[in-house]
Structure 1
Amino acid sequence: MCGRFVVANVGGELVGELRADLIADDLPEPSFNIAPTQQAAIVLDSSKTDPPTRRVEAARWGLVPSWAKDLSIGQRAFNARSDELPRKRMFAPALAKRRAVIPATGYYEWKTDENGKVPMFIHPASGDPMFFAGLYEWWRSPEEEWILSFTILTRSSVGDLGSIHDRMPVFLDADHADTWLDTDVDEPLDILGTAIDDAPRVAESFAWHPVDRAVGNVRNNGSRLIEPLTA
């Protein structure tokens, strides 16, 4: 799963490889402890323009489908199991036409050992951005406000990441991220399958280290949270 992640940069520095046409001017500030229900930057292709416009927008973490009665449903939909998407009413429509990429610096996962749960910061060793496959939805509130929300796809962990947690995000490289965003794809299940299968290869370039348990409190923030834990 993915319950906390880091975005240390914003704007073009974050999404340069994805060739965005428009970057919203209300993107959230850098954060080292993004939690569900908080705002983060996502990349999407708007199918309402011809050709589609690739945009970077601020969105609420936790998918809220258009038919939801209120925002609370998003609190338990911050992750979506990729193998269940086609069968889930909440996610299947978004898989067809509302796919998103969530750029990040890295994410946290908690590893259980003899000392209890230890948070690990997982990130590309190169320092390049990490890309998560995701879905997005627009929800209209009773006050007529349009709210953009998203979820991050997960799959079973393999390789060394499996020693940390049994689930991991569906990671994308820049090329697969470009395909994932394409609104003209006729067979979304095909690109979903490709993304799921390729995620372990993308993860081969990742590094990780233990960090302070302070990250467990959503009120804590700052670059110190990703610093390696010293004995």
Structure 2
Amino acid sequence: MCGRFVVANVGSELVGVLRVDLEGDDLPLPSFNIAPTDPASIVLDSAKTEPPTRRLERARWGLVPGWAKDPSVGTRAFNARSEELEDKPMFRGALQKRRAVVPASGYYEWQRAGGGKVPHYIHPIDDAPLFFAGLYEWWKDPAKAADDPSRWMLSFTILTRDAHGPLASVHDRMPVFMDPDHADAWLDPTAENARDILDAAVDAAEEVSDGLEARVVSSAVGNVRNNGPELIAPISS
């Protein structure tokens, strides 16, 4: 699973790689300890225009489907198993029409060791941006007025798969890494073969994972109040 991740920079660095047309004006600041329910930036293709407009938007981590009574359901939907999406009502509709890419610098995973867990920071060896396959949803707050812009909340989940290669020694699951070459097809809301696109992305993710490294970091990352570049600094295991 992926329960914490890092975005060390935002905005323009990501636009060139994914060819974003429009950036939101309230994008989150860099963070070294993003946890579920925190805001993060996601890339999506809006079907409201023809052709679709690629946007970099602020979103809440933890998918809240449109039929949810309140946002609390998102606290347990920050990850989605890629192999089970069609079987889960929470994710089935988003897989077909509302797919996203979540930019990151890296993510944390905890490895069981002895009687405890050791946190690792996993990131590209060359420090290039890392992209996770995701799904997004819009949720309307019925308690707010129809003309209140804050009535609509954008949320997302990160897809996971069985871990591959050396990363499997840290944890048995890992995010579905999105190769930029597959991003256009994945983001296209008009594409009807979502499962085929996802399966191709999962296969390509193995090559991406080969370019990652994991290093032991401070247990301070376990406290969501801690946030700073010292959290990703290597320590002796």
- TM-score, with structure 2 as normaliser: 0.95
Instruction: Work out the CA distance in 2 between the residues paired with 1:230 and 1:81.
Output: 32
| Amino-acid identity (%) | 65
Deviation at 1:114, TM superposition (A): 2.8
Equivalent position of 2:188 in the other structure: 182
Equivalent position of 2:33 in the other structure: 33
What does residue range 136-155 of structure 1 map to in structure 2 within 5 Å? 136-144=136-144, 145-155=151-161
2:37, 2:60 within 8 Å by CA — same for their partners in 1? yes
Give the counterpart letter for 1:166 in structure 2.
D
SS of equivalent residue, structure 2 residue 90: coil
Instruction: Work out the CA distance in 2 between the residues paired with 1:55 and 1:18.
Output: 10
Deviation at 1:178, TM superposition (A): 2.1
Equivalent position of 1:226 in the other structure: 232
Give the counterpart letter for 1:44 in structure 2.
L
Equivalent position of 1:195 in the other structure: 201
Deviation at 1:185, TM superposition (A): 1.1
Equivalent position of 1:68 in the other structure: 68
2:102, 2:131 within 8 Å by CA — same for their partners in 1? yes
Give the counterpart letter for 1:96 in structure 2.
Q
Q: 2:223 aligns with which of 208, 217, 221?
A: 217
> Which 5+ residue runs of structure 1 have no aligned equivalent?
none
Give the counterpart letter for 1:65 in structure 2.
P
Give the counterpart letter for 1:117 in structure 2.
K
Deviates more, 1:114-123 or 1:128-137: 114-123
Deviation at 1:201, TM superposition (A): 1.4
Equivalent position of 1:50 in the other structure: 50
Instruction: Work out the CA distance in 2 between the residues paired with 1:47 and 1:117.
Output: 43
- TM-score, with structure 1 as normaliser: 0.97
Deviation at 1:115, TM superposition (A): 6.2
Equivalent position of 2:135 in the other structure: 135
1:131, 1:177 within 8 Å by CA — same for their partners in 2? no
Question: What do residues 173-214 of structure 1 show as CA deviations (whole Å, max 9, x unaligned)?
Answer: 111122211122121111011112221111110112000000
Instruction: Work out the CA distance in 2 between the residues paired with 1:37 and 1:52.
Output: 27
Equivalent position of 2:84 in the other structure: 84
1:111, 1:164 within 8 Å by CA — same for their partners in 2? yes
Deviation at 1:113, TM superposition (A): 1.6
Give the counterpart letter for 1:226 in structure 2.
I
Equivalent position of 2:19 in the other structure: 19
Equivalent position of 1:123 in the other structure: 123
2:179, 2:201 within 8 Å by CA — same for their partners in 1? no
Instruction: Work out the CA distance in 1 between the residues paired with 2:160 and 2:53.
Output: 26
Alignment RMSD (CA, Å): 1.1
